[in-house]
Amino acid sequence: MPNQVQIGAPAAPTELTVRQPMVQVRPTWSDDWGVIDYLEPLTWEQALAPTVTQARFRWAYGTITRPDAAEAVYAPGLDEMIGWFVRIIRQPAAQGQPATVLWTGQISASADHVGGDDIGGEPTGDEVVTARGLESILARQDVCQSHVEGVADALTIIDTLLPFNLRHRNGNSLMGNRSTAKVAGAYLFSADGELWSARDVAEYLLARFSPADMPFTLAGQLDNLDLVVRTFRGTWPTLFHALNAVIDRRRGLCWWVDASGGDPQVRVASVFDEPAAAGGSQVAPNTDLIDVVTTGAGSTARSVTIDRTLDAHYSRIEVRGEPIVICASVAVDGGTLAAGWSAAQQSAYEAGASAIQGYADLDTAVKAVRNDQARARDIYRPVFCRFAVPAAWAFTDRNGRNVAPSPRLDGTLDTAVNAGGFCHGKSFLRQLPLQVGRTYHTAAAPVLADASAGDEFVPPLVVARVPVSDEHAPYLPLDRLSECIPGAPSMPIRTLDGELGFEVTARPNYLLALNHWSGEPGTWPPQIDYDTIVATMAWESDQHVNCQVALPAAGNCPVARTLLIHVPDAELWWMPAGTVTDVSDSGDLLVTPADMVLRDDSEKLRIVAALARSWYGRVRRAVTVEMADLAAEWRPGAIVRQLHAAGRWYQIGTIVSRVRWDASSATTTVQTDFAELDFVAAAGVRP
């Protein structure tokens, strides 16, 4: 249940009015706090990171008669206190009760407002002292080493900055590099292979890089940090930058430094005010919820500003992943592959060296050598060897099946609808989404939620009938011919840049011209008919895997607007039935028995959509409240659920991001806001 705060009401457990603030200082963090009389706090603030808070104080120096003194005494300036720690406390209501710590920081600067000389010749004036919050200390702590598990599990420090978790080059999977056990309060980098969560990373950073004489610890709402498991690059200049990256507002998390209980704590809170589903996990809501009443007898609210912006209103959310990867077979026979050379090129290639002077007088063997030399020129590389989908390709495979399935709004595919596409400028991928050692022609392959860390993927498959006898011409992979037929040259496959095509590296080219050759003699006879070529290729389609949800229309979106969220690592790999994945020992084509989804990350899209809907599915407003008193019940990290003003309740649903106190005007200003959340990052949860 949220607490209800009545602004200006008599003091209650949820509201404490600040009595005369008191200032304490100490030279080092381990020293005792001591009161410094007459150091007057002017302003101070508390705020969520990445804001670095500050406080300002006034100190009168010179020969001065203090209010509670009978005679004037000399008060020196505070120059020597630069670097000291300072805190503002609320004096206890009764003797024996503890003081309330309102703000803690470190004196960072002072400015003299010189008034002149006093009667003794000493200068007089006011000194304005500036202190910065303890988060500024984190901004001065370098993150320049890695703490690893060395020999016999001992802690070893190296200069290389290691990433937390590794992403495998062939997929979206993570390889852990965290130790199994903690050492001195935090995990280490280790070959144990455990995955780092954001909580693990934050604890490691604070344990290893906090000042030795001033330990910072992690506190607050830590369960949501346990859910975030991803790669953190680890190349941060300071501890402050590192914590901002790990405890990220875009992920629905926030943090600030709290030293009200003694040693500084990095406190973590959720920006969600309601539970949000994230796959099999729940993103826990913030438990510090308040409802604010600004009206009524004795209200001290000076002004209430409620911001409304169109930026926070959407009628529909579309979560879009990567282009859908299609793996299918095309063939020259049937028209889904076409020759990638011109008739003029073929004619010149076949002519070879026949145009040179004295060619007719050469014997056949010499002609063959000279012809092959002439045909080795680079301009003839495409002849008989280069193939591409035809310009009018209808996005069908060698069997006439649709290879441009249409994505549905729930992240699945409608294979009956051909969505078409635009071929110009596209290239076949250099790897198929088929794993080495896995069989695809016997039964449906298991779905790959993520490509596993140790998997390798096969290159494009190009096969053709190769006559090995008068009676038998089995299908064989061209890039492994030497393994299939002793003495035969293998023909590597190269996918083309900027074209949905490939080139067979047959040298000489006319090895593929069986039944098509009418040229001058060469040193080899044509051996393979390129009409029998069948190629299994992969490419990115023009359709993306996506998920769409509509938002409630109850005043949330005055105009139709779509929020488009891109999930960069959400993939869908699909292969239709009849795709050639291998050849049998007898040279027959081995094909997939049914349509196969080889990888499906659409659940990630649904998680992101659910998080986005939980945030944008209700009205949220930023609010600024100014009060004519110094109120201590306000704190960053609390969520204002609703606010009562002008006779009605306003739905707010945003987090207190800054509280500023001004002692000179005896006012407190509270601001809430909401950053634009990165729901993709927020959904990076443990599977």
The model carries a pTM of 0.72
Residues in the chain: 687
Structure tokens at 610: 């659910």
Question: What's the pLDDT tens digit per position in 527-543?
Answer: 999 999 999 999 999 99
Confidence check: pLDDT of 462 > 90: yes
Q: Which of 351, 352, 345, 354 is nearest to 383 (CA)?
A: 345
Judgement on whether residues 162 and 130 belong to the same structural domain of the protein: no
Judgement on whether residues 77 and 162 belong to the same structural domain of the protein: no
Count of C-beta atoms within a 10 Å radius of residue 450: 17
Q: Is residue 636 part of a domain?
A: no
Q: Is residue 130 part of a domain?
A: yes
Dihedral sign, Cα of residue 31, residue 33, residue 37, residue 42: positive
Judgement on whether residues 461 and 405 belong to the same structural domain of the protein: yes
Angstrom distance (rounded) from CA 127 to CA 113: 6
Judgement on whether residues 169 and 281 belong to the same structural domain of the protein: yes
Angle, helices 198-209/239-246, rounded to nearest 10 degrees: 170
Q: Do 366 and 534 touch, CB atoms closer than 8 A?
A: no
Domain finish residue from 138, 171, 188 = 138
Beta bridge partners of 502: 387, 495
Confidence check: pLDDT of 525 > 80: yes
Confidence check: pLDDT of 559 > 70: no
Q: Is residue 293 part of a domain?
A: no
Question: What's the pLDDT tens digit per position in 60-78?
Answer: 888 787 777 777 788 887 8
Question: What's the pLDDT tens digit per position in 591-638?
Answer: 999 999 999 888 888 878 877 887 777 778 899 999 988 887 788 999
Q: Which of 211, 228, 208 is nearest to 162 (CA)?
A: 208
Considering the chain, what is the average pLDDT of its residues? 86
CB within 8 A of 392, min separation 6: which ones?
Answer: none
Measured distance between the N- and C-terminal CA atoms of the chain, rounded to whole angstroms: 31
Q: Is residue 258 part of a domain?
A: yes
Domain finish residue from 94, 109, 138 = 138
Angstrom distance (rounded) from CA 396 to CA 230: 38
Dihedral sign, Cα of residue 23, residue 26, residue 31, residue 35: negative
Question: What's the pLDDT tens digit per position in 237-253?
Answer: 999 999 999 998 777 88
Q: What is the DSSP string of 190-214?
A: -TT-BPPPHHHHHHHHHHHHS-TTS
Question: What's the pLDDT tens digit per position in 394-453?
Answer: 999 999 999 999 999 888 899 999 999 999 999 999 999 998 888 898 876 555 555 443
Burial degree of 672 (CB within 10 A; 0-12, 13-18, 19+): buried
Q: Which of 279, 321, 251 is nearest to 567 (CA)?
A: 321
Q: How would residue 280 be classed by pLDDT, with cut points 50, 70 and 90?
A: low
Question: What's the pLDDT tens digit per position in 12-53?
Answer: 333 333 357 899 999 999 999 999 988 999 999 999 999 999
If DSSP codes are grouped into helix, strand and coil, which group holds residue 440?
A: coil
- Which residue has better confidence, 194 or 154? 194
C-alpha distances out from residue 511 to 407, 491, 502, Å:
42, 10, 17
Judgement on whether residues 132 and 155 belong to the same structural domain of the protein: no
- Which pLDDT score is estimated for 15? 35
Question: What's the pLDDT tens digit per position in 122-137?
Answer: 778 889 999 999 999 9
- Which pLDDT score is estimated for 276? 72
Q: What is the DSSP string of 617-628?
A: TS---EEEEEES
Q: How would residue 5 be classed by pLDDT, with cut points 50, 70 and 90?
A: low
- Which pLDDT score is estimated for 10? 38
Residue 37 belongs to what domain range? 16-138
Structure tokens at 288: 């510090």
Burial degree of 560 (CB within 10 A; 0-12, 13-18, 19+): exposed
Judgement on whether residues 276 and 335 belong to the same structural domain of the protein: no
Strands 289-293 and 3-6 come out as parallel
Judgement on whether residues 424 and 330 belong to the same structural domain of the protein: yes
Q: Is residue 593 part of a domain?
A: yes
Q: How would residue 79 be classed by pLDDT, with cut points 50, 70 and 90?
A: confident
Judgement on whether residues 60 and 156 belong to the same structural domain of the protein: no
Q: How would residue 173 be classed by pLDDT, with cut points 50, 70 and 90?
A: low
Confidence check: pLDDT of 267 > 60: yes
Structure tokens at 222: 């830590």
- Which pLDDT score is estimated for 602? 87
At which residue do the structure tokens 């001290």 appear?
Answer: 300
Domain finish residue from 138, 155, 186 = 138
Judgement on whether residues 502 and 404 belong to the same structural domain of the protein: yes
Structure tokens at 112: 């003299």
Q: What region does 296 belong to: left with phi over 0, alpha with psi -120 to 50, or beta? A: left
Q: Is residue 168 part of a domain?
A: yes
Number of domains the chain contains = 3
Confidence check: pLDDT of 4 > 70: no
Judgement on whether residues 185 and 104 belong to the same structural domain of the protein: no
- Asked, as a colleague might, if the bond just before 50 is cis with ω within 30 of 0, I would say yes
Question: What's the pLDDT tens digit per position in 635-674?
Answer: 899 999 999 988 899 989 889 999 999 998 889 999 998 7
- Which residue has better confidence, 166 or 310? 166
- Asked, as a colleague might, if the bond just before 508 is cis with ω within 30 of 0, I would say yes
- Which pLDDT score is estimated for 484? 87
